[in-house]
Structure 1
Amino acid sequence: MSLAAPPREAAAPPPPPARPSAVRRLGGFLLRQWRRLTAMRTAIVLLFLLALAAVPGSLLPQRSLSQANVSQYFADHPTLAPVLDRLYLFDVFSSPWFAAVYLLLFVSLIGCVLPRALEHARALRTPPPPAPRRLSRLPDAAELPTPLPAPEALDVVEEELRVRRHRVVRRERGGVEELSAEKGLLKEAGNLVFHLALVALLLALAGGKLWGYEGSILVTEGGRFCNSFQQYDTHSSGALVEGSDLTPVCVGLEDFRAEYEEDLTAASFTADITYGPPGQEGRPATIGVNDPLRVDGDRVYVTGHGFAPRFTVTLPDGSTFDDVSAPFLPTEQSTMASEGALKLPDLGAGAEDQLALQGFFAPTGMVRDGILTSINPQPLAPQVAIVAYQGYLGLDSGLPQSVYSLDTSQIERGRLTEVGSANLAVGESTTLPDGTTVTFTGYAEFAALQFSHDPGQVWVLAAAIAVLAGLLGMLLLRRERVFARATAAPADGGTVLGVGVLTRGSGDGAPRFAALTDDLRAALAARAAARAPSDGAAPEPEASPRDR
């Protein structure tokens, strides 16, 4: 009688592998994205995107530079301009997308450079690696026979390499002496300096934008302005700049001179100015287009010039307004033909008793078919064409308007009416229907001055020089490792010296290796000849056919 074996219990299936928690998955995802962001390839792509993003800022007018040009673009392209404005293309360098690319590039460079800097610091303290077992597999290798013993042969190699500024380490492996040497660590240092300087350049540019400011103003000869946002025609400032941070200095324009070549191209613009703290007598100075005034870290540039025609207005009751003027802005740089407007709101008691002269100024004028044109930028025969308007100018309406042109909306509403026009040379007059006399008495020159403060300018210069130095080191220096192994030659009792070189960063490794082996052969022969009389050493054998 046999007994049946009890049924065996089925083995329990292995438990499923534990799934990583949501925190670990999130951490792995963030780590992968961080590695992608800090890769050198990403930094190069972001640098290209930053350069690409700056293109619209050079093609389209920017509010920070000229609000008038932006307004003119809106007038010329009423359909396209609002679309571009929603994309911040008139404020490119302060737009969110430009700031995002800028910050991503900054983070990418820091995350890419700092680990490499730490790795380079460790490499500076690490000796050259041991020689590979088969030197013949290196790109450049040769065997040099010599009658010298192995230690002395390696001494000769070490001397030659130290002269060439290599770091040298001697080792012994398996009873065989060998040598390892390297140089060119400054190549990696130049790479790091280049990228660190690029980070410093970005920081300096950002600092200059945050703490910098600039303003532009037209100053007529004899006029004066002080460094205040309220006095500038246009100004821009960083987010961290307040009005009290501006340098307290005032600048007066005493005289302006423009010189021209024979073909009427501008040769130089120079302005005699005075400058000093408010309430004090100014010190004289002369500035030009590329020769600004530098005071307390600020700079005052001459960026342009023009003319301000002068008029004398005599009212019917005999009251006179002498030498009233307004700057006329140039519309043609080649002839300095200029347009502008002179507004006189205080002629009478009523708001409708106001006068405006809209005009065209020609430094050297010529009238053809009753139309005044300018033929020379020099003021040889100044003339002005004016159109007189009377009525309400709208200066107290609360709406902003340009000081260099009339508010055409008042003309369209009929509140400002044309009452006369004339072409006038210096000293000539025209009389309006109500008896008002307008006399063209002459002109004054004005200079367009720009006041700039950029605290990051020196740092930008230093960073740019460091970028150039790092780039030169990265391109011109070579990373080179030299290995040598001395083994005994049983046939003649001498030594076979194996030499191999690994070069990175240049394409002339073969000529350099040939020069090194030639120097080593000469040094080995000289050492062998020097010790031959004392120990009767055999002369150096002929080169082995294995030499390369």
Structure 2
Amino acid sequence: MAEKASALGLRQTGRWLWGQLTSMRTALVLLFLVAAAAIPGSLVPQSSQSSIKVSDFAKAHPALDRIYQPLGMYHVYTSVWFSAIYLLLFISLMGCIVPRLITQVKALRREPPRVPARLDRLPGHRSVEVRTGEVAEPDAEKAAAEGATSTGGDDVEQIGQRARTWLEANHYRVVSDPDGSLRAERGRHRETGNLVFHVFLVVLLIAIAWNTLWGYKGNAVVVEGQGFSNNITQFDEFHAGAAVNSDRLQPFSLKLKSFIARFETGPVQRGAAREFTGKVALTTENGTQDRTLTVNKPLTVGSTKIHLLGHGYAATVKVTDGDGNVAYSGPVTFVPQDGNFTSIGVIKVPDARPQRLAFEGYFLPTGTVGKSGPVSVFPDAYNPQLYLNAWAGSPAKETGTPQNVYVLDKTGLTQIKDGKKPVSFMLSPGKGYKLPGGQGSIEFTGWHRWAKIQVSSAPGLPLAFGSLLIAVAGLCVSLFTRPRRLWLRVRRGEGGRLAIEVGGLDRADSRAGLDDDVNDLVDAARGDLADAVGGDPEKADHPGAGATVSPTTSEEDS
């Protein structure tokens, strides 16, 4: 009865698991899993991008929400399972790279392998015979018939020197043996490029993790004449890494003094954007400076960048409630919906009494009424109009639940009617409207432009960009470098003849150009690249000349 194999101990099991984790196959599987795990992050709303969209999605799909919540689908990239895959990939790559790095360092210091005993077994092979000493003219025809050429007194040393010169000119690393044989190698840095790619892929992962933990970004809408301070309470949306202290952001503030928007007014490309420029007063620890904020030219304060993301119009309104008190006065942001800046917005007046008020509708910079209703016909404000309808309801308690400021939640609200017809009205700057039943009034006092800015800090971005460039460079070296080995042996034969034998081996899958290198090395060693017998392996039919192709030699042969 065969002995039962003993179970693996804890140490052996650990070694086996480590070997499985650090194999290239596992690294590829984990890389695929990271790519697959990132897909839900692009399909499901993420809380890091918009908590309002997440809330709206949860309300619209309650069944999916019950599944997504425990799985962390609303914060995929910071979830436990995604972080686990990411960390395992990092460990697997490190386990693959370190042993290969040590092996490559040793390989770079090692000389090309010795000349194989059987060069004719290599994929690229050619041998020719030459005479030493001068060949007389009457004997030239006989020498050619015997497959020999005159070298004019060449000996083994001269042949080796000519071959060495050709090899070095073609970027081979050459080593000479005492018997006059040469061993040459090039393309040793193919594996180096491969390792550089993998090493800096790991550095890229580190840079991404650095950005994820210590980076932040936030968006804010700033109306002309108003300011912004880099404080978490000033952001409309703010997302920060786990290691960010939101109370210690880069200190600065800015005021949007004016925003200039120019559009094409001619018949060609009418309405096309021509200029978007914000004039800001930027205050830092060094004082206040007037700066210009434009698209793709962010302002920089320390490690923080301020980008211009968008712009639009804000209507300035004054709302008086039913008790005669001014319940709201100020600008209201309207969001553009098309290229002519037909914009929608909501005016919420929760402090109005005895009933809270709300208005929703359109701001039209150059307004008109078309077949489908009010619309803007040009993006600049040549004829600004405000089209609104009105809602009223009992005062509501604050719930603390975030709401979309651009969408009116009509829960508890009733549309105000004049008789049986819902109230709907148009206002021009300076005009007002009184709500029926003494419920209050609204006045359109003017308009301003607004700019949407993004404040972000990505401390790992330079490292990520640099590592990406180096990784691509390493990949190119790995893809376009062809490792190749050539050997040359010269032997003395009978009758004063020398036998030149060259063998070549490509260490890559493709052997394109190997036969050319073998033939050129033979011709260079003879010192005659054109007229010598045997120079063209396809035309040479004498013994000892020509190229032969045979199965690839093993590592022991090389």
Coarse TM-score class (shorter-chain normalised): 0.7 to 0.9
CA shift for structure 1 position 506 = 6.6
Structure 2 residue identity aligned to 1:276: T
Q: Give the corresponding residue for 2:145.
A: none
Q: How does 1:185-334 map to 2 (within 5 A)?
A: 185-260=188-263, 262=269, 264-277=271-284, 282-313=288-319, 324-330=330-336, 332-334=337-339
What is the alpha-carbon distance in structure 1 between the residues aligned to residue 81 and residue 307 of structure 2? 32
Deviating above 6 A after TM superposition, structure 1's stretches of 4 or more consecutive aligned residues are 315-319, 416-419, 539-543
Select which of 35, 50, 57 maps to 2:41.
Answer: 57
Are the equivalent residues in 2 in contact too, given 1:372–1:423 (CA < 8 A)? no
Q: Give the corresponding residue for 2:166.
A: 160
Question: How far does the alpha carbon of each residue in 1:378-405 deviate from its partner, in whole angstroms, 9 at most, with x for none?
Answer: 3232211223344545364544434444
Structure 1 residue identity aligned to 2:187: G
Select which of 544, 547, 554 maps to 1:546.
Answer: 544
Are the equivalent residues in 2 in contact too, given 1:249–1:275 (CA < 8 A)? yes
Q: Give the corresponding residue for 1:521.
A: 523
Are the equivalent residues in 2 in contact too, given 1:190–1:472 (CA < 8 A)? yes
CA shift for structure 1 position 515 = 4.5
Change (3 A) 1:154 1:393: farther
What is the alpha-carbon distance in structure 1 between the residues aligned to residue 156 and residue 381 of structure 2? 91
Are the equivalent residues in 1 in contact too, given 2:327–2:351 (CA < 8 A)? no
Q: Give the corresponding residue for 1:80.
A: 64
Q: Give the corresponding residue for 1:359.
A: 361
Q: Give the corresponding residue for 2:123.
A: 139
Question: How far does the alpha carbon of each residue in 1:520-543 deviate from its partner, in whole angstroms, 9 at most, with x for none?
Answer: 42453379xxxxxxxxxxx98877
Structure 1: 5+ residue runs without aligned partners? 1-12, 528-538
- Scaled by the length of structure 2, what TM-score is found? 0.82
CA shift for structure 1 position 50 = 1.5
121-130 or 30-39: bigger deviation: 30-39
What is the alpha-carbon distance in structure 1 between the residues aligned to residue 55 and residue 324 of structure 2? 41
Structure 1 SS opposite 2:426: strand
Select which of 340, 344, 358 maps to 1:339.
Answer: 344
What is the alpha-carbon distance in structure 2 between the residues aligned to residue 256 and residue 78 of structure 1? 42
Structure 2: 5+ residue runs without aligned partners? 133-153, 536-541, 547-558
Change (3 A) 1:85 1:141: same
Are the equivalent residues in 2 in contact too, given 1:394–1:407 (CA < 8 A)? no
Structure 1 SS opposite 2:375: strand
Q: Give the corresponding residue for 2:472.
A: 468
What is the alpha-carbon distance in structure 2 between the residues aligned to residue 463 and residue 395 of structure 1? 53
Are the equivalent residues in 1 in contact too, given 2:355–2:395 (CA < 8 A)? no
What is the alpha-carbon distance in structure 1 between the residues aligned to residue 440 and residue 411 of structure 2? 24
What is the alpha-carbon distance in structure 2 between the residues aligned to residue 145 and residue 247 of structure 1? 79
237-246 or 364-373: bigger deviation: 364-373
Q: Give the corresponding residue for 1:45.
A: 29
CA shift for structure 1 position 418 = 6.8
What is the alpha-carbon distance in structure 2 between the residues aligned to residue 364 and residue 92 of structure 1? 43
CA shift for structure 1 position 268 = 4.8
Question: How far does the alpha carbon of each residue in 1:428-470 deviate from its partner, in whole angstroms, 9 at most, with x for none?
Answer: 2211231743221221111111101000010011101111110
What is the alpha-carbon distance in structure 1 between the residues aligned to residue 206 and residue 36 of structure 2? 20
Q: How does 1:462-501 map to 2 (within 5 A)?
A: 462-490=466-494, 492-501=495-504
Q: Give the corresponding residue for 2:460.
A: 456
CA shift for structure 1 position 28 = 2.8
Are the equivalent residues in 1 in contact too, given 2:214–2:240 (CA < 8 A)? yes
Question: How far does the alpha carbon of each residue in 1:317-345 deviate from its partner, in whole angstroms, 9 at most, with x for none?
Answer: 87668952211223x23332322222345
Q: Give the corresponding residue for 2:550.
A: none
Are the equivalent residues in 2 in contact too, given 1:249–1:277 (CA < 8 A)? yes
Are the equivalent residues in 1 in contact too, given 2:201–2:467 (CA < 8 A)? yes
Change (3 A) 1:37 1:542: closer
Change (3 A) 1:18 1:45: closer
- Scaled by the length of structure 1, what TM-score is found? 0.84
What is the alpha-carbon distance in structure 2 between the residues aligned to residue 407 and residue 454 of structure 1? 36
Structure 1 residue identity aligned to 2:177: R
Change (3 A) 1:402 1:18: closer
Are the equivalent residues in 2 in contact too, given 1:325–1:342 (CA < 8 A)? no
Structure 2 residue identity aligned to 1:212: G
CA shift for structure 1 position 58 = 1.9
What is the alpha-carbon distance in structure 1 between the residues aligned to residue 33 and residue 324 of structure 2? 67
Are the equivalent residues in 2 in contact too, given 1:391–1:417 (CA < 8 A)? no
Q: Give the corresponding residue for 2:555.
A: none
Are the equivalent residues in 1 in contact too, given 2:309–2:453 (CA < 8 A)? yes
CA shift for structure 1 position 315 = 6.4
What is the alpha-carbon distance in structure 2 between the residues aligned to residue 448 and residue 360 of structure 1? 19
Are the equivalent residues in 1 in contact too, given 2:224–2:259 (CA < 8 A)? yes
CA shift for structure 1 position 256 = 2.0
Structure 2 SS opposite 1:246: coil
Change (3 A) 1:407 1:322: closer
What is the alpha-carbon distance in structure 1 between the residues aligned to residue 328 and residue 15 of structure 2? 76
Q: Give the corresponding residue for 1:502.
A: 505
Structure 2 SS opposite 1:245: coil
Change (3 A) 1:314 1:39: closer
97-106 or 68-77: bigger deviation: 68-77
Structure 1 residue identity aligned to 2:280: I
User: RMSD across aligned C-alpha pairs, in angstroms?
Assistant: 3.0
25-34 or 180-189: bigger deviation: 25-34
What is the alpha-carbon distance in structure 1 between the residues aligned to residue 259 and residue 73 of structure 2? 37
28-37 or 199-208: bigger deviation: 28-37
Change (3 A) 1:73 1:364: farther
Question: How far does the alpha carbon of each residue in 1:150-189 deviate from its partner, in whole angstroms, 9 at most, with x for none?
Answer: 34422332232223232222335xxx55322111111111
Is it true that 1:114 corresponds to 2:116 in the alignment?
no
448-457 or 435-444: bigger deviation: 435-444
Change (3 A) 1:370 1:312: farther
Change (3 A) 1:483 1:354: same
Structure 2 SS opposite 1:376: coil
Question: How far does the alpha carbon of each residue in 1:16-69 deviate from its partner, in whole angstroms, 9 at most, with x for none?
Answer: 86964x5x4333333233222222222222222212222222233211011122
Structure 1 SS opposite 2:438: coil
Structure 1 residue identity aligned to 2:55: S
What is the alpha-carbon distance in structure 2 between the residues aligned to residue 359 and residue 501 of structure 1? 79
Q: Give the corresponding residue for 1:387.
A: 389
Are the equivalent residues in 2 in contact too, given 1:160–1:520 (CA < 8 A)? no
What is the alpha-carbon distance in structure 2 between the residues aligned to residue 256 and residue 517 of structure 1? 72
What is the alpha-carbon distance in structure 2 between the residues aligned to residue 166 and residue 399 of structure 1? 71
